[in-house]
Chains A and B, each alone.
Chain A
Amino acid sequence: MSAKEAERFLQPPGMEKPVASRESQWREFWRLLTKNRLAFVGLFIFVFFFLIALGGLILTSGTKPFFDPAVVRLEEKLRPPLSSPKSEILGSDRIPRLGLYLFGTDELGRDVFSRMLQGAWVSLTVGFVAVGIAVFIGILLGGISGYYGQNAVRADQMLVMIVWLLGIGLSVAGKAAVGILLLVGGSTLFIFSRGWKRNEGRREPSGWARVLWRKTISIDTLVMRFVDIMLCFPSFFLILTVVALLPASLYNIMVVIGLTSWMGTTRFVRAEFLSLREQDFVTAAHALGVSNWRIIFRHMIPNAIAPVLVSATIGIATAILTEAGLSFLGLGVPPPHATWGNILSDGKNFIFDAPWLTFIPGVAILIVVLSFNLFGEGLRDILNPRLRERS
């Protein structure tokens, strides 16, 4: 061995060699997903249904849709699945596109296959939009409560909030003039209290100011008690009430389901934030001069998002079920638009004569909900850092 080689041997180039393999996070995620067979099947089924729903949306809408879910053929009502239409009675424009009733017909002779296609999009969008709303509210409130939770709300801020809430309430309830007046008043109060806050410590507060600056309760208490209150309502009946009051439409239902299912996410995010804010990297970010908002959005939310995603996938399944339940009770998306829930509910009157009318949408809901739950469970395992370290 020459001297040069010996030196190289004793002092290898570079100081410390990497220990872990270089694998991007997505690659690693994908590898773990394919290894978790149930989750993979769940994702696969979900993607399959999503494509069907997308195709269904395109093929069943418009003035002359490819699959027309609205064609009534009273002559051909309650035909079993896979039966072929009698073309001599129907006339060429009312023959179903496939040349047979793939899923049979309902009591008005409408093609159940077309109706299922139309309903698929409703079910999936309700799931996604409702959960999207819930996750948004959950992250916002949970984040505030977890990060700023220890700060107390001052009495003047409480006053502003109460005035604002009253204003919003009155505007919604119809007394718009008084409501807007209150909103304007609340905003003025808000600006004033910001100004007072800035002068804090520079001069001796007067008696009034001292009363207004008194600390009432912490932000954490405020938010979490609100969560508790919302959880007290049996949510399905709350939704029923709201839906009965509002005009029935797809969007109202999405929003209402979203507004009544954010509490779990809020608790998750709060718990995550409480532990994250004590982490060294948050202190380190502070020490670098990173602002609070940037810390919340860039440093903490990406770390807190995993359990939220898991609960969201399961939440989508719940939202689909809730929508189906509402439609089943006749309070969902108004007819003639088909949803899986109202196909099911229309079919229940003929359950002995035409079992496919309940069976087919029921199985579809079952499969979609199950695939989401499986995917959610699998995601929980995949995103669990302890399992990741091992593999």
Chain B
Amino acid sequence: MLSVKDLKVYFYSDSRVARALDGVSYELRRGETVCLVGESGCGKTVSALTILRILPQPPGRIMDGKIFLDHQNLLDLDEDEMRKVRGRRIAMIFQEPMTSLNPVFSIGEQIGEAILVHEKVDQEEARKRCIQLLKDVGIPSPEERLKDYPHQLSGGQRQRVMIAMALACHPELVIADEPTTALDVTIQAQILNLFRELKRKREMSLLYITHDLGVVANIADRVYVMYAGVIAEQGEVRHIFHDPRHPYTQGLLASLPIRAKRGKALHSIPGTVPNPAFKPEGCPFHPRCPFAIERCRFEFPEMCDYGGGHLSRCPVLYGR
């Protein structure tokens, strides 16, 4: 349904070029939950913003690639056509529920706007749908809540309102950009349950961006692991968690605090994420990789197929 093909997004500043996305491809099938995992700055959010074409340009520039939504390349649409896609076919939920709602409007007005922008319905109808949406996302006594302003809600409630806004026009695809990162763990679990339930009811696809492997294990059907603007490994959840074939994924999983390793120091991947303006040549992960060989320093690795949709960008481990 959605497929991103070889997407390249570069950021231009005065003297340097930061290659935020360096040929990223992924796809989503209808009704599927796909997680995009990676460290901060690896290009997860940029790819989401690019799908909706709300990436600030300049400094960002889409250099190459295609984004197909049901055989329609979104990068070919003009601004008016694109506006009909946003919110109606693809909606997005942002990371910070604190700042993603407009402080001067009541939540009823904001959810109503999401409906009124795309559909010709009258105020009363919009109000009814707002109430239903708030009920769907689990906000108690929605009739009264409509008149509340964002500052009168708690963080979890605000995120629920954001979700309601995203769902307002029954989009086929919802992109959730770390929707639970700013919330505490109990609320996080509630929101994840909400996502799972809504997805079942509405038959929508979900592209879930996170850096939290616990969340991934909880919600995903398939996983794409990103590193420094490229896909490092992709596959179903069981592949990624039980049979990781990329040293980066292995490192990430080894860094998880689990009970078996209680009392021991946590594993960490040595080094830091490369600055996107000065990426190493060859495999972007090689300076931190325990398996790096001479070839990794200058040759960009190919995807290696392990079967069943499990692919990894590490020929060294594939050879073993």
Contact = CB atoms under 8 A, between A and B. Distances in A.
B102 A281 contact: yes
B32 interface: no
Given A150-B58, A287-B54, A289-B117, A20 B104 contact: no
A207 interface: no
B149 to A, nearest CB: 7
Interface stretch (B88-96, B120-128, B256-264, B311-319): B88-96
Nearest to B103: A303
Contacts of B96: 280
Interface stretch (B153-161, B239-247, B283-291, B293-301): B153-161
B151 A20 contact: yes
Contact of B92 (A150, A279, A287): A287
Nearest to A306: B104
Contacts of A303: 102-104
Given A13-B140, A288-B114, A290-B113, A280 B86 contact: no
Nearest to B144: A22
A16 interface: yes
B73 interface: no
Given A18-B153, A280-B100, A283-B54, A289 B83 contact: yes
A287 B207 CA distance: 15
Interface range on chain A (Cβ under 8 Å from partner): 20 to 34
A246 interface: no
Contacts of A285: 102
Nearest to B157: A16
Contact of A288 (B99, B105, B113, B141): B113
Given A15-B138, A15-B140, A303-B104, A287 B52 contact: yes
Contacts of B92: 284, 287
B84 interface: yes
A285 B52 CA distance: 12
Interface string A301-317: 01100000000000000
Contacts of B165: 284, 288
A291 interface: yes
A298 B110 CA distance: 10
A135 to B, nearest CB: 18
Given A289-B83, A290-B113, A298-B113, A283 B153 contact: no
Pick from A14, A150, A281 the residue with the most CB of B within 10 Å. A281
Nearest to B156: A16
A172 interface: no
B83 to A, nearest CB: 5
Given A285-B102, A287-B87, A289-B87, A14 B152 contact: no
B85 interface: yes
Nearest to B177: A287
B181 interface: no
Interface in A12-50: 13-16, 18-22, 25
Contacts of B105: 302
A25 B105 CA distance: 10
B56 to A, nearest CB: 9
A73 interface: no
Contacts of A16: 154, 156-157, 187
A286 interface: yes
A176 B228 CA distance: 64
A288 B87 contact: yes
A286 B83 CA distance: 8
Interface string B109-144: 000011001100000000000000000001011000
A84 B105 CA distance: 59
Nearest to A288: B87
Contact of B94 (A14, A15, A283): A283
A281 B150 CA distance: 11
A20 B190 contact: no
Contacts of B223: none
B157 A287 contact: no
A299 interface: yes
Contacts of B138: 15
A13 B156 CA distance: 16
Given A22-B152, A289-B118, A14 B83 contact: no
A285 B86 CA distance: 10
B99 A20 contact: no
B236 interface: no
A289 B85 CA distance: 7
Residue among B86, B104, B138 having the largest count of chain A Cβ atoms under 10 Å = B104
A223 B92 CA distance: 34
B84 A18 contact: no
Contacts of A22: 148, 152
B93 to A, nearest CB: 9
A284 B101 CA distance: 8
Given A280-B94, A280-B100, A284-B100, A289 B141 contact: no
Given A21-B152, A287-B86, 14 more contacts: A14-B141, A25-B149, A279-B99, A281-B103, A284-B94, A286-B86, A289-B118, A290-B83, A290-B87, A291-B83, A294-B117, A298-B113, A302-B104, A303-B102
30 contacts: A15-B138, A15-B190, A16-B187, A18-B153, A20-B151, A22-B148, A25-B149, A150-B58, A279-B99, A280-B96, A281-B100, A283-B94, A284-B100, A284-B165, A285-B102, A286-B86, A287-B86, A287-B87, A287-B91, A287-B94, A288-B87, A288-B114, A289-B85, A289-B88, A290-B87, A290-B113, A290-B117, A291-B83, A298-B113, A299-B102
The 3 A-B residue pairs whose C-beta atoms are closest, nearest first, are A14-B140, A289-B86, A289-B87
Interface of A: 13-16, 18-22, 25, 150, 279-281, 283-291, 294, 298-299, 302-303
